Chain A
Amino acid sequence: MRTATVLSAIVAAGLTVGAATAEAQTSAGIQATATVLSALTVAAGNNLVFGNVTPGVNKTIAIADPGAGTFTVTKAASSGVTLSFTLPTDLASGTDLLPIGSWSGAWNTSATTVGATAFTPSPAGTNTTVNAATALTVFVGATVSPPLAQPAGSYSGTVTMSAVYF
């Protein structure tokens, strides 16, 4: 009888252990992570100015010339941006058109073309490097090609630059 009682106790203990195991829990954790970047802004700077041009004579403004167009990008440090452009194919004066093309560009972390990185502005976009700067200056140049019969007048067009983080 004593043995049977002991065995019953052991069996009961075993069942208790089994019941506890059936409700066993285990867990693991992962992280949810995000990096918040400051707002990205683009500001227009200098206009791209060709000044007087002569019919039949192409005129180029290089990125280092005083007439180069500029934009300023304000961004988060340690980030890169994609620079995209909407570029005119002609400048207009009423219904008269003055062809423009051969676009050139450069960006720098300071407001100078010395040490700037050259690129070709395009709608497809150009990635800057990932850098620690919080501001970029973008320089834009181009060439106008007035034909011999180009009507006299004041011509203008709009160059639009967009920037997004990549």
Chain B
Amino acid sequence: MRFQWLVLLAALAAAPSASAQISVSPIRDLAFGSVIVGVPSTVAPSHPTRSGQFQITAPTGSKVQVRLTLPGQLAGPSGAQLPINFSSNDAIAIGGWPGSTPDVFNPKATRNLQFTGGTIYNVFVGGTVSPAANQLPGSYAATITLTLTNF
């Protein structure tokens, strides 16, 4: 019986943790570059260099839920804030395997992804900043967080 105990404990210890099998990495910031006071500026999620990008890794066949936590303002000099908005088609998920179809989705809603043909998904994020006519010049930034839940 003690042997069975050891086998059971060993089996539990050796069982791979699902949390160790999924991961998300930041790849690229959502970069609006230079914007002019009073002139809104949009970066599409399909932009090759300025869209934000995360990379998700999970085993083939697994399903994950993606949730983006989005800012409403970018923080700037002397407490100034720059409004940022996200439209319903400002996020795209693309599987990293041949033939994967881009999945345009609302970044303000959760999205379920299934790894049908590989182990990598890329999620791209766009948005629009709207500097006011009296916007204080300077550098502004805020954090976009992608939370991944497996199920």
Contact = CB atoms under 8 A, between A and B. Distances in A.
Contacts of B12: 10, 14, 17
Contact of A23 (B24, B38, B137, B151): B151
Contacts, number: 144
DSSP class of B's interface residues: helix, strand, loop or mixed?
Answer: strand
Given A10-B12, A18-B15, A34-B131, 11 more contacts: A3-B5, A21-B19, A22-B150, A30-B30, A34-B32, A34-B35, A34-B140, A35-B34, A36-B76, A37-B35, A165-B36
B5 A7 contact: yes
Interface of A: 3, 6-7, 10-11, 14, 17-18, 21-40, 76, 79, 165
Contacts of B4: 7
Interface string B65-106: 000000100101000001010000000000000000000000
A10 B144 contact: no
B37 A37 contact: yes
A76 B39 CA distance: 15
A3 B5 CA distance: 9
Interface string B122-149: 0001010101000111111111111111
A59 B34 CA distance: 43
A7 B145 CA distance: 42
Contacts of B18: 21-22, 24
Contact of B137 (A24, A36, A165): A36
A36 B145 contact: no
Contacts of B139: 33-36
A28 B25 contact: yes
A79 B139 CA distance: 13
Contacts of B1: 3
Contacts of A25: 19, 147-149
A38 B41 CA distance: 14
Given A29-B145, A32-B71, A39 B37 contact: yes
Question: Which has the most chain B C-beta neighbours within 10 Å: A11, A24, A165?
Answer: A24
A27 B145 contact: yes
Interface of B: 1, 4-5, 8-9, 12, 15, 17-19, 22-38, 41, 52-54, 71, 74, 76, 82, 84, 125, 127, 129, 131, 135-151
Given A29-B145, A31-B142, A24 B33 contact: no
A36 B143 contact: no
Contacts of A31: 29-30, 141-144
A31 B139 CA distance: 12
Nearest to A79: B34
Given A7-B8, A27-B148, A31-B29, A38 B37 contact: yes
- Of all A-B residue pairs in the complex, the 6 with the closest CB atoms, nearest first, are A24-B19, A34-B32, A27-B147, A32-B30, A31-B29, A29-B145
Question: Which has the most chain B C-beta neighbours within 10 Å: A14, A22, A33, A79?
Answer: A33
Contacts of A24: 17-19, 22, 149-150
